[in-house]
Structure 1
Amino acid sequence: MDSIIAYFSTIPSLHRALILAGGITVFWLTENAFPLFKMDYKKWQHAGINIFFTFTTIVVNFLLAFVLLLTAHWVAENDFGLLNWISSSYPWIYTILGLLLLDLIGAWLAHFVQHKVPVLWRFHLIHHSDTWIDTTSANRHHPGESVIRFLFTVLAVLVSGSPMWLVFLYQSLSVVFSQFTHANLRLPVGLDRWISYVFVSPDMHKVHHHYQLPYTDSNYGNIFSIWDRLFGTFEKRDRADIVYGIDTHHHPSEHNNLKKLIALPFTKLRKPNQHQ
């Protein structure tokens, strides 16, 4: 555990970039070999749009990183946050609880709120508009959403009292899990189900990308599936019945056009259908 703490306390930016690029590469190759769906799309053109949003996410997080660093420093200096109630003599318990709290507030809660608050949904809509979910879809976030998610991450650090090494560990795991759960990857049904008892599995997250309610408003988890099970937002659907996208923006001219996607949060919202 000491070596993990030491590594993530000083993890170079290059290593964090390699985790991002390496995950995309591994899951890109794997989903090509074992695809869940055979999708009729221009994979590289689709990836170009999603990688653009990945880049804007990196820029937003880089520009605001000092806020996260100051927050982590402040909670450490003032023994603030829930983790400071736990003795550091139990590093594994400390780490697991820290990851759970960061996942709850920084991911699950952020995701849930974006679905429930119309002005925030406008930005998150870009992510759901993708009708060809693959590993590049993981970071398909409007720059406005990247700011929203960053603010929830800061809140998570403040409430949990997480040190910066734990934040870096969580973010590294989050990147890989997000790429894994979005990948167009066919796992054995039984294996996927067993994974979903603890972690978010590919099939579990694909339900969230079904194009109509109530499935769109379910399975908000990022790493751990416990929060959806605990708060009653866990849903199942046969993988063969899943249709990607969002029913209000299902035409390629809307979900596969970079200029329109950037402008989408500032256009009039359409009322979704309630069908399954």
Structure 2
Amino acid sequence: MNDIIAYFSTIPSSHRSLILVGGITFFWLIENAYPLFNFTYKKWHHAGINIFMTCTTIVVNFCLAFILLKTADWTIAHHFGILQWLPKMSVWLYALTGLLLLDLIGAYLVHLVEHKTKILWRFHLIHHTDTWIDTTTANRHHPGESVIRFTFTALGVLLIGTPMWLVFLYQTLSVVATQFNHANISLPKKVDTVLSYLIVSPDMHKVHHHHVLPYTDSNYGNIFSIWDRLFGTFMTLPKEEIVYGIDTYPHPEEHNELKNLLKIPFQKQPLKKNEQKI
């Protein structure tokens, strides 16, 4: 564990970029060989949109990274935050507790709030407009949403009292987890079900991308599935019944053109079916 701490305490930006690119490449190759759904779409055009948004996320996080660094350093220096107040424990338990809490605030909570708050939903729904969910969808976030998610991550670091090595470890696991659970891959049902008791599996997350409520408002987790099960937001749906996208933006010119996607948060929002959202 000491080697892990040492590595993530000083992990180079080049290594973090390699993990991001390597993950996309790895899962893209697998989903081409063993696809869950056989999409008929312009894969490179679709990937281009999503990778552009991935790049904007990288830029936002890079520009604001000093906030995370200062926040983490402050919590350690002032003995502030949940981890700092807990009794002394093994480093493995310390790391697992930190990862669980960061996942709760930096992934589950922000995701839930984005779905329940109209102004935040305007930015997050760009992620849901994708009608061809694959590993490139993982970071299909409007730049505005990237700022929102960063804010919650920084809040999590403050409240939890997380050292920076643990933040880098969490972000690395989060990137790989979201690429995995968005990938258009077909796992044996039993394997996926067993995985879903511990982490967010592909079948579990695909339910979240079903185009209508109540499924859209379920399965908010990113790394760990415990939070959806604990807070009653876990749902299942046979994968053959899943229809990707969002019912308010069903047309390709709305969800498959970068220029329009960037403008959606600032447009008048159409009502969902039965006026269930916005």
TM-score range, shorter chain: over 0.9
The one-letter amino acid paired with 2:72 is A
Q: Which residue of 1 aligns with 2:222?
A: 222
Q: Distance in 1 between matches of 2:88 and 2:7?
A: 17
Work out whether residues 129 and 249 of structure 1, in 8 Å CA contact, stay in contact via their aligned partners in 2.
Answer: yes
TM-score scaled by length of structure 1: 0.98
- 1:1-276 → structure 2 map (5 Å cutoff): 1-87=1-87, 89-273=89-273
User: Residue 189 of structure 1 aligns to which amino acid in structure 2?
Assistant: K
Q: Tell me the amino acid that sits aligned with residue 67 of structure 1.
A: I
Paired-residue identity, %: 68
What is the one-letter code of the residue matched to 2:135?
T
Q: 1:274 Cα deviation (Å)?
A: 5.4
CA distance in 2, matches of 1:273, 1:71: 42
How many aligned positions are there?
A: 275
Cα distance in 1 for partners of 2:73, 2:52 equals 32
Amino acid at match of 2:44: W
Distance in 1 separating the partners of 2:175 and 2:266: 28
Show CA shifts across 1:10-45 (max 9, x none): 000000000000000000000000000001101011
Q: 1:34 & 1:85 partners in 2: Cα distance?
A: 47
Spell out, residue by residue over 1:131-153, the C-alpha distance to the aligned partner (whole angstroms, 9 max, x if none).
00000000000000000000000
Matched AA of 2:14: L
- How far apart in 2 are the matches of 1:272 and 1:167? 37
- Is the Cα–Cα contact under 8 Å of residues 86 and 94 in structure 1 kept in the other structure? no
Give 1:273 deviation, angstroms: 1.9
TM-score scaled to structure 2, two decimals?
Answer: 0.98
**SS of residue paired to 2:109:** helix
User: Aligned partners of 1:89 and 1:80: how far apart in 2?
Assistant: 17
Take 1:217 and 1:149, find their aligned partners in 2: how far apart are those partners?
A: 18
Q: Kindly provide the CA deviation profile for residues 224-273 of structure 1, in whole angstroms up to 9, marking residues without a partner as x.
A: 00000000000000001000000000100000000000000001111112
**1:85 to partner: Cα distance:** 2.3
What residue ranges of structure 2 are gaps of 5+ in the alignment? Answer: none
What amino acid is aligned across from residue 235 of structure 1 in structure 2? M
Q: Distance in 2 between matches of 1:162 and 1:153?
A: 11
Deviations 1:153-201 (A, max 9, x none): 0011011100000000000000000000000000000000000001000
Q: Determine helix, strand or coil for the equivalent of 1:11.
A: coil
How far apart are residue 89 of structure 1 and its match?
4.6
Q: 1:81·1:158 contact (CA, 8 Å) conserved in 2?
A: yes
Q: Indicate if the aligned counterparts of 1:212 and 1:274 stay in contact, CA closer than 8 A.
A: no
**Structure 1 unaligned residues grouped into runs of 5+:** none
Answer with 217-226 or 89-98: which moved more: 89-98
Asked if structure 2 preserves the Cα contact closer than 8 Å seen for 1:107 and 1:222, the reply is yes
CA RMSD after TM alignment: 1.0
Structure 2: how far apart are the matches of 1:138 and 1:101? 21
1:251 and 1:39 map into 2 onto residues whose CA distance is 16
Tell me the amino acid that sits aligned with residue 48 of structure 2. G
2: CA distance, partners of 1:235 / 1:128: 17
